[in-house]
Structure 1
Amino acid sequence: MNKIKTLLIANRGEIACRVIRTAKRLGVKTVAIYADVDRNALHCQLADEAYCVGTVPAEKSYLNMHNILSIAKQCRADAIHPGYGFLSENASFAALCEQQGFIFVGPSSNAIAKMAVKDEAKKIMQQANVPTTPGYMGQDQDVFTLTQAANQIGFPLILKAAKGGGGKGMRVVHHANDLTEIIDSAKRESMMSFGDDTLFIEKYLQQARHIEVQIFRDHAGNAVHLFERDCSLQRRHQKIIEESPAIGITDEIKQKLFQAAINCAHAINYVGAGTVEFLYSSDHQFYFMEMNTRLQVEHPVTEMITGLDLVEWQLRIADGEDLPLSQSKISTQGHAIEARIYAEDPIHHFLPATGTIKKIILPETENYRLDSGIQEQDKVSIYFDPLLAKMIVHAANRIEAINTLHQVLDQYHILGLTTNLPFLRKILLDTTFQSAKMHTQYVETHLARLLPTTTTLTKESISQACLIYLLHRKIQALTVLENHSPWDKCNAWRLNLAHKETLHLQYQDEDLIFQVEHTGENTFQLSCTDKQIDVHVGGELLHNKLHFYSSSQQGIVDFYIDEEEIVLFPKGKEFIFTFATPATDPEVLQITNHHLLAPMPGIITKIWISPGDNVLAGSKLLALEAMKMEHTLCAPKDGLIKSIHFQVGDQVEERCQLIDFE
C-alpha cells in the first residue's frame, strides 16, 4: 500500500473485524472506534489501537461524524473504511473525509449522493438504459397526490423511502383502502430513520426474485463484475440467506444483468465496490431496484466462489491502484451459501433479543467460514443491529452446500440469548428452498411452516441431563475438596447402605425428580417414575461433550452447564434444564462452584469481610438492601474469601456472583 498506512474502521461488530483482518494481512495499521458499551468488544481487541467515540445510542458514537474525524486526526489515519450501515452510504460523511484529507474507502460523495435518493437514482438508471419498474417519483408528497399516483400504477404496489434503504420506510400495499394509513406509517418510519419522509411508489412484482450483481470500478474507469448473488430469501425486506450463483437464470439473461450493473457504475463515475440490486420477475424480466454504494453484508459468498478478497480490492483501489484483475481473469467455482445469525426470537414475531453471551460452541468440522464480531461474555444490547455473525460454506454444488451449511449450523450454538439459529436450520430443510423455487415473499407467505416448532423432550435427553449434572458435580467437588472424608464425596455415600440420593431438575415448568443410585465410579441407576425412566447409564465429560453409554445405546452429545442451567444439543435441537432447589432462607447465600450468589436484587450497604479472610459458617459477609429492608447475608460453611466483586453502594442483580471463595 502506497498511501494507506493507517486505516480507521468507522464501524463495529463482524464487519469491523472482517476489515481489520485483511488490513493487517496487507501490513496496514488498524484503528478501531467504540461506543462506551463496546469497550471490550472483539473488534477493539483485534485492532492495533482503539478509541472511544462516544456513548449510546449510535447517534452519539458510530454516527457522530465530528468525533470520528477527530479520532482520525488524533491517530493520524490515512483512510477511513465505513463498513456497512451507519455512515457507509452517507454522502455528507464521505464529503467531510474528502475535505479533511482522508481517503474514504468507497465511492466519491457525489456518487453516493446520486444513488442515495432512490427516486433520483431510478431516473439516472433510465438514462443509462437500465430497466426500471414503473412508478411515481414526483416531488408532490401530499396524500392526495400519492393516492392518485397509486391508483394509476395499480395494486399491489410498494412504498419506499426516497433517501433510505435496508427495508426501513418500505411498505407493500395490496388494497386502496389501506393506502392512507400505510403512507402515514411509511413516512413516520422514513423520517425517524433518515430524517426525510419523501416516498416514491413502484409497482410491486409478486413472486419476484432478488438478484444482485457485485461490481468494482477503479479511478481509470475500468469496471468488472464479480457475478451475481441470489438474496430472495427475505423477511420484511431483510435478507436471511444469500447464495451464489443464482439457480435457474440463463447465461444470456445473466450477461444482460452484468452489463446493466456495469452501465450503472459508469453512469455515476463510480469508484470502488458496489452492488446493483435487481428484481427478477416470474416472466424472466429484470428491473433496477437500487445500488448499494458500499460493501454488502453478503459479500463472503462472492469471495468463496471467486477466491478473491473483496476488502483487499477495496483498499487497493482506494490506494489508487487499478483493478487487480481484468474480467477475463475472474472465474467462479462451486456454490456458496451464507446464513445471517441474528439475536432475535422467531417464535415471538422476531423481536430483537438481548442478553450476555455465556458460551459459543463452534462446529467440529473445518468446512465453513464464520464472520463473527462476538465473544463470550459480550453483552448484546438494544442499541445496535442484532446481527451477530454470518456462517458461510462453499461446496461443489448447491445441494452439497445446503447440506454442509445445515450440518455446520447443527453444531453451532450461542448461549445466553435467543437467536434465529433454529429458524435457519428449518429453512435449510424446506423443500421449496432446496429446489430453488423461493421468491422475496416466500418466507412471509409460508412463515407458519418455516418457524421452528417445540421439540418433544425425549427420555434419552432427560437421562443425559441428569448424568451431566452428576458427573459435573463430581468434577467440581474434586477441585474444591481434599476429598479425604467420605462425607464430602458426591456419591451419596452412606454407612452400610446403598449410595442413593434424590435429584431435582426442571424442564420449562415441569419438575423432574430422579432417584439416583451410584453403582460405580461414573455409573448410575436413574429412575424417574413420571417419565417412565429406569436406566443404567455411565459416561464422562470431555470439554463440552458428554460421552455416554447405557444398556441400549451410546454416543456423544454437546452440552453446556453453569450454576443455573444445563443445555443439551442433540442433533441441532436444544433442551434447557434448570436446577430445582428447595426453598432456603433468603438471608443465607448459596454456594455454587466457588461462588456466592445474591439471593435477590438490591444495593450493598455493608461489607464485613476482605479478600484473604477465613470465615466460619454463619459469619456475616455483607448486607443487601432490597425493598426498603436490609438483609444480612451469612456464610453457609467454612471457607477462604478469594475475591469480592462489588463494593458498598453497588446495585446487584439476583443470582449474580458476589464473592469467590475456596
Structure 2
Amino acid sequence: MINSTINTLLIANRGEIACRIIKTCKRLNIRTIAVYATPDIHALHVKEADVAYCIGSEKLQDSYLNIEKIITIAKKEQVDAIHPGYGFLSENALFSERCKAENIIFIGPSAQSIRAMAVKDEAKKIMEAAKVPTVPGKLDVQSVAEITEACQNIGFPVILKAACGGGGKGMRIVFDSKEIEEAARQAKQESQNAFGNDSLFVEKYLINARHIEVQIFRDSHGNCVHLFERDCSNQRRHQKVIEETPAIHLSQALKEQMYQSAIQAAHAIDYTGAGTIEFLVSQDHHFYFMEMNTRLQVEHPVTEMTTGLDLVEWQIKVAQGEALPLQQKNIKQIGHAIEARIYSEDPEQHFLPQTGKIKHLFYKDSQNVRLDSGIQRGDSIGIYFDPLLCKLIAWGENRDKAIHLLADALDHFKIIGIKNNISFLQSLLLSHAFAEGLDVQHLERNLSQYLCAAPTLSKEVLAAACLVFILNRNTADNTLWDKKNAFRINLKAQEMLLLEYQSQSIAIQITHTQTSLELSCPLFESIFEISGTVDDNILSYQFENSWRSISYFIENAQLSLIHQGHLYQLNDLAHIDHSTKTEQHDGNIIISPMPGMITKIWKKIGDSVNKGEKLLALEAMKMEHTVAAPKSGKIKNIHFNMGDQVIEGSELIEYDNI
C-alpha cells in the first residue's frame, strides 16, 4: 500500500486533458512536468506546465506511447507520480508495471486490474462471475468463418468489437452475412492501428438501447463509492457527442441496481482509483455490462459539476494511499449538467477530420459554463492525434436550464480557421428528439436532420460585413491621399464592393455620408443604412435605429462574423489572396477529402467501377474512412500506394472512358 505525498507529477498526455490535470495540480501546489511530440511544441499544455520535454516525432510510438522515453524523463525530474489522462497509455498494464518498478506512483489502477478489463471478452467472463449482467455474445473469434458462425448463432444485427479496444475504435455493426468480411477487415485494421492488437469478439446489437455509465471510485483500503450515472447515448460511429447527468427516463430503482453492479465490478478486480462501468440499457429496462474504462473519462466534468467534486484531486489522493474523501451517504448530486464535445470535423462532408490553423477563438465567460480546452489561437491541427479539440459543459438547476445555458455557450463559441461540429451540436441540442431522450442508434438513423445548411444572409449581416471591411481597410490609411474609401471633393463618395458568400458573388453599391454608409444591393429591395466603429474584434454599430454589437475576425480580406449564434464567412473578392482558394480539379479525378495514410486499395488500373463502389481507405486521427466512386467509369491511374501519406486535395485516382 502506497503512502506517499505527490509533489511533482508528470502528465503522459496532451491537449485538453493535460491542461485539465495541470489546473488541479496548480491548486494543490503540485509541480507539473509535460511531455510533447514535435507538432505540439507550442501547445497549451506545454506552456501551462512548469517544465516540458520533447519526447519524439508525431508518430505515437515515438512519443506519447513511448514508455522508455517517458520513464527516462520522469526519473530525470525525480517525479513522484505519472498521470496518464485518458487514451494513449492510460490503460496500458505494462506502463503501470514499469512505473511501479521505478518506484513512481501510477495514477490509476494496478496492472492486474487493467489487464482484467483490457481484454473485453475476458472482462465479460469476470463480470459474469461477479453476477453483473452481460450482453449475449461470442468471445475470441478471429477468422471470418468463426465470426460468421457466431453471427448466425447470435442472430443479426450484431456488433464486432476490438477485444483490446475502446473509444469507438475497432467496432462495426453487421446487419447481414454479406457485410461480415469487410466489417471484420475494417474492425481489425482500426483495432491494430489504435491498440496494437486486432483481436475481436461478437455481441448481440441491442436495438434502441441507451448507453448509461456509472462513475465509481475505490481506494486501496477496500472502500468503494459511486458518483452516480451519465447518459452517453448521443453517439455517432460509437463516438460520444453529448453526455449528461443525471440520465432521464430511468427509475431510481433501476439506477440503484446499476450502482450496485458497478461497485460489485470494482470489488471483483480489486480496483483502485477512478473507473467507469459502462452499461447498455434495453428498451424493456434491462441493463447489461458493456465494458469498464480503467481511467478518467472524457465526460467526467458533468459529474464534477453536479457533485461539486474534483475527480482529479480524488485520483491523486487515492494514489497517495489515502482513504476516499467522502462516504457514499455524504455524496450528493445537485442539478443537471451537459457536455458537448467539439471536434475538428466537417459534418457536411460526412464528418471527415479537418486540419488547419486556428486563426481565432471566440468564447464568452458565463456563470455555470465550463470550457475544458487544450487549444489556442495559432495552433495547427494535424492528422496525427484525436480530433477532439475541447469540451463545453453547462450546469443548470434542471435539465431545461442546462440545455439553455449550453446552447447559449455554443452560440458564442466559435473556432475560426478550421471546420468543426459546433453547428451540428447546436442543432442536436435544441432538437425535440434530444429533449425527449435519445437511444444509441438515433443519430445514425437520423443524422441528416441535424446537418445545418449555411445561414441565410440577412440585410443586417450584409451591412455589418460591408462596414467591417471598410473600417478595417481604412484603419491602415495614414493620410488623406492613402484613403481607399471613395473620397471625392464636392461629390458624394461612392464605391462598389463585390463580396462572396457561399460561392455566390454579391455586388453592393455603397454611398459614404458624413456619419454612415448607405447600401444598395439586388438581394434586397430597399436602401439600408449602417454606421459604427470597430475595436478588438467587436463591431459596435447602429442599424434600424438601434445600437448593436457583433464579433468578427478578418484576415486577408476573408471575414468571419458571429450573429445570433451563426457563423457567417464572406470574402472581399477585390482584395482576397486568390492563392488561398481551393484548387478546382477535373471531374474525372478523385481528390483526397482529407490528409491521411492510405490503408487499403480495392481497385487496380483498368478496373471498371460503379458509382458508390469502394476505391480506397484513408486513416486519419486514428479512424479509417472509405473513399467511394462518385460515378461509374474505368480506372485510368492510381497515384499512390498502400502506406503512403497524402495531403488534402491530393489527386488519388484518375478516371477514363466516362
Normalised by the shorter chain, which TM-score bucket?
0.7 to 0.9
Residue 200 (1) aligns with residue 201 (2): yes
1:60-139 equivalence runs, <5 A: 60-138=62-140
Query: Matched residues in 1 for 2:335 and 2:367: separation?
Result: 17
Unaligned 5+ runs, structure 2: 580-658
Number of the residue aligned with 2:527: 534
Aligned length: 577
Deviates more, 1:168-177 or 1:178-187: 178-187
Shift in Å at residue 528 of structure 1? 2.3
- In the other structure, the counterpart of 1:397 is 398
Contact 1:487/1:493 (8 A) holds in 2: no
CA contact (8 A) 1:214 1:228 kept: yes
Q: Kindly tell me: are residues 493 and 146 of structure 1, through their superposed partners in 2, closer, same or farther at Cα, counting changes over 3 Å?
A: closer
**SS of residue in 1 equivalent to 2:476:** helix
Query: Any conservation in 2 of the 1:515–1:528 contact (CA below 8 Å)?
Result: yes
| Higher RCO (CA < 8 A, seq sep 6+) | 2
User: Residues 149 and 509 from structure 1, CA distance in 2 versus in 1: closer, same or farther, beyond 3 angstroms?
Assistant: closer
Match of 1:211 in 2: 212
State the secondary structure of the residue aligned to 1:137.
strand
Stretch deviating more after TM superposition (366-375 or 495-504): 495-504
TM-score (norm 2): 0.85
Q: Residue 20 of structure 2 aligns with which residue?
A: 18
1:258, 1:92 → 2: CA distance?
Answer: 30
Correspondence for 2:321: 320
Partner residue, 2:154: 153
CA deviations over 1:302-335 (Å, ceiling 9, x no partner): 0000000000000011011110001011001000
Shift of 1:530: 5.2
1:298-447 alignment to 2 at 5 Å? Answer: 298-436=299-437, 438-447=438-447
Aligned counterparts, 1:538-577, within 5 A: 538-551=531-544, 554-577=547-570
Aligned to 1:516: 510
Whether the 8 Å CA contact 1:364–1:411 is kept in 2: the answer is no
Q: Who is 1:245 aligned against?
A: 246
Task: Give the distance between the partners of 2:398 and 2:229, measured in 1 at CA.
Answer: 16
CA contact under 8 A between 2:6 and 2:320: conserved in structure 1? yes
TM-score, length-normalised on structure 1? Answer: 0.85
Q: Please tell me the residue identity of whatever aligns with 1:425.
A: Q
Task: Output the CA distance in 2 between the equivalents of 1:429 and 1:247.
Answer: 16
Q: Is the 8 A contact 2:212 2:281 kept in 1?
A: yes
What secondary structure does 1:446 align onto? helix
Query: d(CA) in 2 for partners of 1:447 and 1:233?
Result: 11
User: In 1, Cα distance between the equivalents of 2:109 and 2:578?
Assistant: 65
Provide Cα deviations, 1:317-366, integer angstroms capped at 9, x if missing partner.
Answer: 10111100010110010000000001110110101111111111112533
| Contact 1:358–1:416 (8 Å) recurs in 2 | yes
SS at 2:564 equivalent: helix
Q: What amino acid does structure 2 have at the position aligned with 1:124?
A: I
Residue 582 of structure 1 and its aligned partner are, at CA, apart by 6.8
Distance 1:324 1:309 in 2: 11
Q: Distance in 1 between matches of 2:109 and 2:16?
A: 22
Match of residue 461 from structure 1 = 461
Aligned CA distance change for structure 1 residues 549 and 271 (closer, same or farther; 3 Å):
same
Deviates more, 1:493-502 or 1:308-317: 493-502
Distance in 2 (alpha carbons) for counterparts of 1:392 and 1:564: 34
Say whether the 8 Å CA contact 1:363–1:409 is kept in structure 2. Answer: no
Aligned to 1:640: none
**What residue is the counterpart of 1:525 in the other structure?**
518
Instruction: Quote the Cα distance in structure 2 between the aligned partners of 1:503 and 1:328.
Output: 67
Which of the numbers 469, 477, 492 marks the counterpart of 1:498? 492
Separation (CA, whole Å) in 1 of partners of 2:274 and 2:51: 26
User: Which stretch has the larger CA shift, 454-463 or 414-423?
Assistant: 454-463
Displacement of 1:494 in angstroms is 1.8
* Conserved? CA contact 2:242–2:338, under 8 Å: yes
Deviation at 1:181, TM superposition (A): 2.9
Distance of 1:441 and 1:501 partners within structure 2: 54
Label 1:492 to 1:181 Cα distance change in 2 as closer, same or farther (>3 A).
Answer: closer
Displacement after TM superposition at 1:401 (Å): 0.5
1:410-452 CA-to-partner distances (Å, cap 9, x unmatched) read 011110100100000000111010122x100000100011111
Q: Alpha carbons of 1:238 and 1:493: their partners in 2 closer, same or farther (altered >3 Å)?
A: same
Aligned AA (1:449): Q
Contact 1:393 1:405 (8 Å CA) reproduced: yes
CA RMSD of the aligned region, Å?
Answer: 1.7
Q: Which amino acid aligns with 2:565?
A: G
Distance 1:334 1:533, change over 3 A: same
Q: Per-residue deviation at 1:547?
A: 2.0
Q: Structure 1's 141 and 365: CA in aligned 2 closer, same or farther, altered over 3 A?
A: closer
Give 3-state SS (helix, strand or coil) of 2:475's partner.
Answer: helix
* SS of residue matched to 1:312: helix
Map Cα deviations across residues 599-629 of structure 1 (whole Å, 9 max, x no partner).
xxxxxxxxxxxxxxxxxxxxxxxxxxxxxxx
Deviations 1:437-479 (A, max 9, x none): x1000001000111112322222211110011122223332xx
Which AA in structure 2 matches 1:468? Answer: V
Output the CA distance in 2 between the equivalents of 1:363 and 1:159: 42
Quick one: structure 1 residues 584 and 497, their matched pair in 2 at CA, closer, same or farther if it must change by over 3 Å?
farther
Residue 606 of structure 1 aligns with which residue? Answer: none
Q: Is the 8 A contact 1:234 1:240 kept in 2?
A: yes
Over residues 94-120 of structure 1, what are the superposed CA-to-partner deviations in whole Å (9 max), with x where a residue is unaligned?
A: 111111111000000110011000000
Pair 583,259 (structure 1): closer, same or farther in 2 beyond 3 Å: closer
- State how far apart, in whole Å, the 1-side matches of 2:197 and 2:413 are: 41
How big is each residue's C-alpha offset from its partner over 1:117-154, in whole Å with a ceiling of 9 and x where there is no partner? 0000000000000000111114x523222222221111
Alignment match, 2:30? 28
Aligned equivalents of 1:272, 1:56: Cα separation in 2? 30
Q: Tell me how far apart the structure 2 counterparts of residues 401 and 476 of structure 1 sit (CA, whole Å).
A: 44
Q: Which letter maps to 1:39?
A: I
1:449 aligns with 2:449: yes
Q: Distance in 2 between matches of 1:572 and 1:312?
A: 35
Paired residues of 2:211 and 2:439 also in contact (CA < 8 A): yes
Task: Tell me which amino acid in the other structure corresponds to 2:175.
Answer: H
Once residues 584 and 330 of structure 1 are traced to their aligned partners in structure 2, the CA distance between those partners, rounded to angstroms, is: 58
**Are the counterparts in 1 of residues 234 and 443 from structure 2 also a CA contact under 8 Å?**
yes
Return 238-247 or 462-471, whichever deviates more: 462-471
Identity %: 51
What CA distance in whole angstroms lies between the structure 2 residues aligned with 1:579 and 1:38? 33
- Residue identity opposite 2:568 in structure 1: F
Q: Does the 8 Å contact 1:371/1:389 carry over to 2? A: yes
Alpha-carbon distance in structure 2 between the residues aligned to 1:212 and 1:306: 16
1:6 correspondence with 2:8? yes
Deviation at 1:186, TM superposition (A): 1.9
Cα-to-partner distance string for 1:355-411 (whole Å, 9 max, x where unaligned): 111111112533310000011001111111111100000001001111111011001
Aligned residues of 1:234 and 1:441 also touching (Cα < 8 A): yes
SS in 2 for 1:295: coil
Q: What are the ranges of 5 or more consecutive residues in structure 1 without an aligned counterpart?
A: 587-662
For the Cα contact (< 8 Å) 2:558–2:576, is it kept in 1?
no
Which residue of structure 2 lines up, in the alignment, with residue 636 of structure 1? Answer: none
**Using the alignment, how far apart are the partners of 2:401 and 2:523 within structure 1?**
43
* Distance verdict in 2 for CA 1:319–1:509, change over 3 Å: same
Q: Distance in 1 between matches of 2:342 and 2:576?
A: 39
In structure 1, what is the Cα distance between the partners aligned to 2:134 and 2:317?
32
Moved more, 351-360 or 179-188: 179-188
Matched, 1:44 2:41: no
Deviation, structure 1 residue 533: 5.2
Structure 1 residues 268, 543: closer, same or farther in 2, change over 3 A?
A: same
Distance 1:330 1:79 in 2: 27
- Separation in 2, partners of 1:491, 1:454: 30
Separation of aligned partners in 2, 1:349 and 1:230:
25
Rounded Cα–Cα distance in structure 2 between residues aligned with 1:531 and 1:563: 27
Off by >6 Å, runs of 4+ in structure 1: 582-586
